[in-house]
Amino acid sequence: MLGAHAWAEKAHLPGYVAYARANVVAICDIEVDRARALAQKFGIPRVYADHRELLADAEVEMVDVCTPTHTHLALSTAALEAGKHVLSEKPLAERAADAFAVARLAEERGLRTKLGFTFRYSPAIRQLHAWIADGSLGDIFHVHGFEQNSQFLDPDFPLRQVAPGAPRDRLIPSSVVGYGSHLVDLMRWCAGDFAAVAGSMHNFIPERVVRGEPGRQPIAVEDGTVALVEFGSGAHGLLQTSYIAVGNYPGVELRVYGSKGAAVARLIEERGVAETLTFASAHDVEFEAVTLPPEAFPPDTDLHTPWPELYYRNLVRFFVDEILDGTAPECTFFDGAKSQEIVDAIVLAHRERRWVNLA
């Protein structure tokens, strides 16, 4: 485990500890006290302050990169070069070309990869995807994706998503990167490759506290984006990302409309319930709530399990199974690179105020 802070504690480590086929042997953080604290909490035998020491540990077969965004590429590359399978938090890189290069490196070395696209591992989203795959929704016409919550509505809540040295003289893409990377991946998983995008980014809160800097800063962080999508299949899509739309975490909603039916997965934790799923057939038209069977959930979890743990227990166990059983990879670095390419295209569409083709 590389990185021993909030998301490692809330999502990744509970996933490994709950899965008997995985054994966390070492944890590393440059703030070594954080690594020590989580080693104690989760029963991890070895603690390192430098990733190179962890990568030299022969017992480590797979590395989990859960560090700040601007470090993912270098740490993932180093782990692959050391012969380890890698799970990386998203996004993999700041430029799509770098993400494709590290995806190719993994393939050349015969190593497995997974991107931390959390919401692919929601039971509701997996059911929705299964309905697309088995034809229950028919031909797909429209896909709508939202990731919006009010996490950064309060300008005094410190924002961590600004890379050191990011230029301050123009809009800094942020929600479209952090939230949008998830959404475009989900939409691509449902409806196939994107052919073209148009989009608009905006800064709604002009002054805010940025982690590590004193007081409120005048900083044009992009805290909301909308985009239109033409898929290669001819389907239409629309997406919205927002740091400042009132509503709870994670604030993901995926709506898919096809010739035979429609489904809406709503991943918004409310009154202790992590998510809901509804389905309407073309015949009956009214959306009905769908209750998933216990097998749709990781062992010992249900709709009342906190969502980071619920989704990461699935993500982690599926990756471990892919490595140990040699089964088909899903949600790899290549998917991360494709997502990055699409996010870059939305940013370009905004900057040049035009449609951008991806084909």
Interacting residue ranges for ligand NAD, rule: CB under 6 A = 2-8, 28-31, 34, 51, 66-69, 71, 75, 89-90, 116, 118, 160
The candidate with the shortest Cα–Cα distance to 47, out of 61, 30, 62, is: 30
Q: What whole-number distance in Å separates Cα of residue 217 and Cα of residue 62?
A: 40
Q: From the CB of 193, what's the least distance to ligand NAD, in Å?
A: 23
Smallest distance, Å, CB 228 to ligand NAD? 24
Q: Please write down the long-range contacts of 277-284, taking CB distance under 8 Å and 24 or more positions apart.
A: 277/124, 277/127, 277/128, 279/131, 282/138
Q: Which residue's Cβ has the minimum distance to ligand NAD?
A: 5
Q: Do strands 26-28 and 62-65 pair parallel, antiparallel, or not at all (unpaired)?
A: unpaired
Burial of residue 203 (number of CB atoms within 10 Å: 0-12, 13-18, 19+): middle
If one counts every other C-beta atom within 10 angstroms of the C-beta of residue 157, the result is 13
Residue with Cβ nearer ligand NAD (145 or 261) = 145
Cα–Cα distance measured from residue 359 to residue 352, given in angstroms and rounded to the nearest whole number: 18
Spatial strand order of the sheet with 113-115 comes to: 62-65, 85-88, 113-115
**Would you say 188 or 356 has its CB closer to ligand NAD?**
188
Q: Judged by CB, which is closer to ligand NAD: 71, or 278?
A: 71
Residue closer to ligand NAD by CB (options 34, 129) is: 34
Query: Residue 127 or 161: which CB sits closer to ligand NAD?
Result: 161
- CA angle at residue 287 from 225 to 117, to 5 degrees? 40
Q: Specify the residue, 160 or 168, whose C-beta has the smaller distance to ligand NAD.
A: 160
Minimum gap (Å) between residue 178 Cβ and ligand NAD: 6
Judged by CB, which is closer to ligand NAD: 6, or 97?
A: 6
Q: Distance between alpha carbon 144 and the CA centroid of its chain, in Å?
A: 17
Rounded CA-CA distance 100/300 in Å is 37
